[in-house]
Structure 1
Amino acid sequence: MSLPSVVPAPSSIVAADGAAFALDADTPIQGARDAAAALTAVVHARTGLALSPSTGSATGRGIELSVTPGGAAESYRIEADAASVVVTGADAAGLFYGVQTLSQLIARKGDGWSVPAVVIEDAPRFAYRGVMLDVARHFHPVETVKAYIDRAAGLKFNALHLHLSDDQGWRIQLDSRPKLTELASGTAVGGDPGGFYTKADYREIVEYAASRHMIVVPEIDMPGHTHAVGVAYPELAEAPVLTDQMTEQARGEGIAAPVAGAPYEGTVVGFSSLKIHDEATYDFISDVFGELAGMTPGPYLHLGGDESLGTDPHDFAEFVARASSIIADLGKTPIAWHEAGDAPGLADTTIGQYWGFVTPTGGMDVTAKGFVDNGAQLILSPADAVYLDMKYSADAPLGLTWANGPTSVERAYSWEPSDVISGIDDSDILGVEAPMWSETIRTLDDIDEMAFPRIAAAAEAAWSPATGRSDLRNWQSFRQRVGDLGPLWKSLGIHFHASEEIPWTTE
C-alpha cells in the first residue's frame, strides 16, 4: 500500500486499512474557527467545493478540527478513514500545520475528491523555520509579501525575515529618522522604482504573518550594506571603500560606481560602512532598533553584519558588540550573520546565521561556531543549498551563480543540517532559513519561479526528521512527493519552476 505524498516529510505516516474519505460539497467541517476557515479556503482552491465550516462538535461523518494541549509545540495528528477525518493540534499552530498537511492529502478520485485512509503523527525538528525576502535590492509591495507568507506557511515555515535595508534603498518608515524614507527609499537595482513600508504597512504584514503562525524578523543590515543610510544621513557614513574588483564589476554592469551621498543602483557589495567611532552612529542604532522593537512583537531583531569589507576588522568587532548589546537591552534577541561570531563582547544571547557553504570554506564554520561557544545557537542558511535566488542552471534567465554555481533541486535537498558545522548538534541549531535575495527578482512570479520547488527542500531540512531517521528522508522519495504537489500549487496560483528533475503529477 503506497503512502500519500506529504511535504515536508512527517515524523510518522501509516497507510490505514479501509476506504478513503469521500470529500464533497456536503462535507461538514467542525471545530476551531480559524483552522476551519483555512481549510475551507484551500479546499475551494484545490477542488472548487464550497464547504461550510461550523463551530459545533462533530456528529457522524465529517472533518473535525481541534486543539488538545499536551503534545510537543506545533505538533499535530491526523486520522482519516471512510467515516471521518480528525485533525488534532497540540496548539493552534499545530492544528494549522495539520490543516496544511490535510490540504496535501486531497486527491482526485474519479469525478470526485477524497482523503486517503491514513494516520499521521508529526512535530517539527527545529523551532525556527524561516524564509527571508530581500525587499531592499528590489522593493516588493505588501500584497506580494502576504502572498509569500501564504506560500511559506503552507510548508510549515514559521518565520519571515525581511531584509529592510541595503546599499540600494531603505524600506521601513521610522518617525525617529524620517529622512531614511524621504531621501533613501526611491531607488532599486538597475534603476527600478523603489518604495517603502509605512508603519501601517508593516503592522499589516506582522498581523497577517501572525494569522499564519509566523513571526516577522526585521533586518537592518550594518555596519556594511549601509550606503542608503549615508544618502539620508551623510554624517553617519564613511566614504565608499572600493577595490579594483568592485570598480571593474560596476563598470561591467554599466552603472556608476558608488559615490558618497548619491543613490546607488548597482549590485557591488562590501564597500560601505557606518562611522564606527562616532557616538552619533550609536544614537542612530538606538533610535532605529528602539522604534523597530516597538513595532515588532516577535523576539528577534537582525543587525546584519555580513560582508563589511569596508570596515577594519577590529572596528567591526567593536561595532557588532555594541549594536548587539543595544538590541539585547531592548529585551529582544539579536541575530547577526556569521561574521560576527568571534567578536569579543558580542551580547551572549546573539543568534548566529551561517551563510557559508555546505562544506565550509575560509574558516566560516569556525567563526559561526563562536555563537555556540558563547552559549547561543545558529540558524543555518548554506548558500549553495538554500539560497533560493541561485540559478537552477547556467542559462536560467533569473538568479545568480556565485554560490558554487547553479543550484539544482537535488543539491538544494541533499544536505544535512547537523553535518555543516563541525562540533555542533541539533541542540545548537535554532533552525534553518532559506533566503531570497532580489538582485534579479522583481515580481511575485519571479519569487515563485526561484522558490518552488527548492523551498520545499528547505522546509524538509527544517521540519522533518534528520537524514537517515526516516525512510522518506531521501532524494528519491522527496522528488516523487514534491512532484505530487504540482496540482495543489497550480490551484493556489503558484507559478513554480517545472524542473525536469521532478516527475510532476498533472491532476
Structure 2
Amino acid sequence: MVFTHSLPLVPVPASVTAGEGRMPVTASTLVFGDSPAVAQLVEAVERRTGIRLATTDAAADAGVVLGVDTAADVPEGYTLSIADRAVITGADEAGLFYGVQTLLQLLREDDRGWGLLHADITDAPRFARRGIMLDVARHFFGVDDVKRYIDNASALKLNHLHLHLSDDQGWRIHIESWPKLTELASTTSANGDPGGFYTHDDYRAIVEHAASRHMIVIPEIDLPGHTHAIGVAYPELVEAPVLNDSLVSESARLGQPLPVAGETYTGWGVGHSSVRIHEERTYDFVRDVVRELAALTPGPYIHVGGDESLGTPQADFDLFAARATQIVVDAGKIPVAWHEMGSAENIAEGTIGQYWGNTVPQGTHAEEAARFVERGGGLIMSASNVSYLDMKYTEDFPLGLTWAAIIDVESSYAWEPTAVLDVPDTAILGIETPLWSETTKTMDEVEQLVFPRAAAQAEIAWSPKDAAERTWESFRERVGGLAPLWQSEGVNFHAAAEIPWSER
C-alpha cells in the first residue's frame, strides 16, 4: 500500500495510492448519478463548505460521477479515483455510500479554497458485521438523537445499530398487546432523570433512516434478567428482586436506592431481576413482544439479552434461553444473545452470540461463547475492556465508568477480534462497540464518549488487519485529520490529547 499522512482516511482503505495535487471544488462542480447517494453528497458538501453543488444529467459534464457496477461481486465494496474528476463506483448501493464517505474525508480546504485530494482507492470491508450499540433504556434518546447517532456512525462505515430497548430502569418501545409497559414503565431513567419511549411510528422512522444509511437495526429486549421495569407494569411477570452483596455495597457507595418490587428503579445495579420462568404467561408476553418487534423490524435479527441473570438458577436460565430463542426463530428472525446464554445447551440452532468478556477471557466466558458456534451460529466480538464506549478515557474523565477498564484511544485501537477466543476465524462475524448510558443524559455527552473511539473500532472492523497503515502511529495521524469534518457535522468529539488534531 502506498500512503501518506496527507490522506486522513478512517477506516484505512484496503488499497490506496495518494496522488499529487487536488481537484478544485467550486459552485460550478457538477455531480452525476441516479442514486440517493447523490443528494447525500450534495447536502454533506454544503454543510462542510457552504458550496451547493448542482447535479447534471450528462456524465461527461460532471466533475463528480457516482454509479453502481452491478457486475461487481464485492459486497459493500467500491472504487474511487480522484484526478481531474472524481469517480466513485460501488459494487452495490452500500458500497457507493461508503465511497461517498471516503470522498468527504478527502475534501479539504487550503489557501486556494476547497478541493479533493488526488487518490486511487479500491476498498471493501473485512467483516460484514460492523456494529455500534446505543442504550436507550438507562437514559432515553429521542428519534432525532438516534438519527444523529446513525449518521455519524455510518459515516465511519459501521452498518448495524443495536438498540438496547429495555432494562431495569425503563421500557422504551410501545407494545400494543401490553400497553402498560409504556404507560407505567417508561417514565423515568437512571438517577430519576426523565424517561420516554418510541411509538411504532417513531421506531419505523429510526429503521427507515438507518436503511437510508445502509444500517440494519437490531432491537434488544433484555431477558430474563434486566427486567425490573417489566414488573413495574406487570408485577405478575417478574420475581421479587434478589439483593446480592455486590448490589447492596455498590448501591451504598453510589448513594443509589435498592430495587423495590413494583416501583421504578433509578439505580445502576445489575443482576437482581428475573421474569418468572415457570409461568406460561411469561412466554405469552415474550411471544407477543417478539411478534410486534418482528413486524416492525425489516432486519433479520432480534436480540434477547441473556446477560447478568445473577439471581436465576441455571436450570431455570437454560429453560428460558431455549424457549426464548425458539420464539424468535418461530417469528422468522435470527436470535442474538449475550454470551452467557451459551451456557444453556438447547438454545435455538443458529443463535448468534455476542461476547462482552475481556480480551483475556475470564471464568466460563470462552466456553459459553463457543457454544453458539457449536450450534451453528457465529459470534459478535464486543470485548468490554477495549470496545465499551462508556468506559472513561482517563481516571478523572467526567463521563463514563471504569468497571471494565480505563480505555484511552490507543487501547481502543489495539486489539484483534479473532485473537480472543479459541474458535475458527470464520466464526467471528464482526464486532460491535456498545455505549451504555448510565452517565450520559444527552447526545452531546454520548458523543464525547463515542468519538474518536468509534473510529478506532470501525477501522478494526473494516480494514485488513495486515494493512501497512493499521498501526497506532498511522491511525492517530489519520483520525486527527477528521476534526474539521466532525466539526462541520456537529460531532461533539473528545479532543483526546494523544491525537494531533487538524484545523483544516
Please give the secondary structure, in 2, of the residue aligned with 1:366. Answer: helix
1:428 paired residue number: 427
Query: 2:31·2:62 contact (CA, 8 Å) conserved in 1?
Result: no
SS at match of 1:35: helix
How many residues are paired up? 500
Paired residue for 1:239? Answer: 240
Percent of aligned pairs with the same amino acid: 54
Q: What does residue 484 of structure 1 align with?
A: 481
Letter in 2 for 1:215: I
Amino acid at match of 2:279: D
SS for the counterpart of 1:286 is helix
Q: How does 1:484-503 map to 2 (within 5 A)?
A: 484-503=481-500
1:472 counterpart residue number: 469
Whether 1:441 aligns to 2:440 is yes
Deviates more, 1:155-164 or 1:104-113: 104-113
Show the counterpart of 1:414.
414
Instruction: For 1:98 and 1:384, locate their aligned partners in 2 and report how far apart those are by CA, in whole Å.
Output: 31
1:80 corresponding residue in structure 2: 82
What CA distance in whole angstroms lies between the structure 2 residues aligned with 1:249 and 1:342?
Answer: 27
**Equivalent in the alignment of 1:28:** 30
> What is the CA distance between 1:289 and its match in structure 2?
0.4
CA contact (8 A) 1:328 1:349 kept: no
Q: Secondary structure at the match of 1:494?
A: coil
TM-aligned CA deviation for residue 323 of structure 1: 0.2
Aligned counterpart, 1:10: 13
Contact in 2 for aligned 1:60/1:84 (Cα 8 Å): no
The CA distance in 2 between the partners of 1:506 and 1:302, in whole Å, is: 41
What is the rounded CA distance, in whole Å, between the counterparts of 2:27 and 2:100 in structure 1? 18
SS in structure 1 at match of 2:305? coil
Deviation at 1:61, TM superposition (A): 5.2
- What SS does the aligned partner of 1:182 have? helix
In 1: Cα distance, 2:321 partner to 2:473 partner: 43
1:343 aligned onto 2:340:
no
Distance 1:302 1:2 in 2: 42
* CA distance in structure 2 between the aligned counterparts of 1:323 and 1:431, rounded to whole angstroms: 24
- After superposition, what is the alpha-carbon deviation per residue over 1:247-303, rounded to whole angstroms, capped at 9, x for unaligned? 122223323210111110000000000111111111110000011100000000000
Do 1:342 and 1:371's aligned partners in 2 also have CA atoms closer than 8 Å? Answer: no
Q: Which amino acid is 1:447 matched to?
A: V
3-state SS, counterpart of residue 223 of structure 2: coil
Other-structure match for 1:277? 278
TM-score when normalising by structure 2? 0.98
1:436-487 deviation per Cα after TM superposition (whole angstroms, max 9, x unaligned):
0000011111011000000001101111111xx2111111110000000011
Q: What does residue 49 of structure 1 align with?
A: 51
Residues 347-362 of structure 1 aligned to structure 2 (within 5 Å): 347-362=348-363
Q: Equivalent residue of 1:139, what SS?
A: coil
Alignment partner, residue 310 of structure 1: 311
What CA distance in whole angstroms lies between the structure 2 residues aligned with 1:479 and 1:85? 27
- Looking at structure 2, the residues matched to 476 and 38 of structure 1 have their Cα atoms a distance apart, in angstroms, of 32
CA deviation string 1:32-81 (max 9, x = no partner): 34111111111112211111123x23114500000111231110000111
- How far apart, CA to CA, are the structure 2 residues paired with 1:420 and 1:249? 29
Matches within 5 A, 1:141-152: 141-152=142-153
In 2, Cα distance between the equivalents of 1:26 and 1:32? 19
Q: What is the distance in 2 between the residues matched to 1:40 and 1:286?
A: 44
1:438 partner letter: S
Segment of structure 1 superposing worse, 228-237 or 254-263? 254-263
Pairing of 1:158-169 with structure 2 (within 5 A): 158-169=159-170
- 8 Å contact kept, 2:306–2:337: yes
Secondary structure, in 3 states, of the residue corresponding to 2:222?
A: coil
Offset of residue 110 of structure 1: 1.6
Counterparts of 1:88-487 in structure 2, within 5 Å, are 88-404=89-405, 406-425=406-425, 427-466=426-465, 469-487=466-484
Which residue identity does 1:289 align to in structure 2?
V
Query: Which runs of structure 1 show a deviation greater than 4 angstroms over 4 or more consecutive aligned residues?
Result: none
The code of the aligned residue for 1:254 comes to G
Hey, what does 2:39 align to over in structure 1? 37
Q: 1:245, CA displacement in angstroms?
A: 2.1
Amino acid at match of 2:416: E
Q: Give the secondary structure class of the aligned counterpart of 2:74.
A: coil
Residue identity matched to 1:7 = V
Shift of 1:231: 0.6
Q: Is the 8 A contact 2:75 2:124 kept in 1?
A: yes
Structure 2: gaps of 5 or more residues? none
Please give the root-mean-square deviation of Cα atoms over the aligned residues, in Å: 1.1
- For the residue of structure 2 that corresponds to 1:221, the secondary structure is strand
Structure 2 Cα separation of the partners of residues 471 and 253 of structure 1: 46
Distance in 2, Cα, partners of 1:33 & 1:327: 35
CA distance in structure 2 between the aligned counterparts of 1:53 and 1:371, rounded to whole angstroms: 49
- Deviations 1:367-422 (CA, angstroms, capped at 9, x unpaired): 11111111210000011111100000010110000003x10100000001110112
How big is the shift at 1:434? Answer: 0.6
Task: Note the C-alpha offset of 1:356.
Answer: 0.5
Amino acid at match of 1:435: P
The CA distance in 2 between the partners of 1:500 and 1:172, in whole Å, is 39
Give distance in 2, aligned partners of 1:117 and 1:398.
40
CA distance in 2, matches of 1:161, 1:228: 20
For 2:460 and 2:21, locate their aligned partners in 1 and report how far apart those are by CA, in whole Å: 32
Q: CA deviation at 1:2?
A: 2.5
> Match of 1:226, as an amino acid?
T
Give secondary structure in 1 for the equivalent of 2:197: coil
- Counterpart Cα distance in 2 of 1:277 and 1:78: 57
Contact 2:32-2:62 at 8 Å conserved across structures: no
CA contact (8 A) 2:147 2:206 kept: yes
For the 8 Å contact 1:47–1:113, the answer to whether it is kept is: yes
1:265 partner letter: T
In structure 1, runs of 5+ residues without a counterpart are none
**Shift of residue 244, structure 1, vs aligned partner:** 2.1
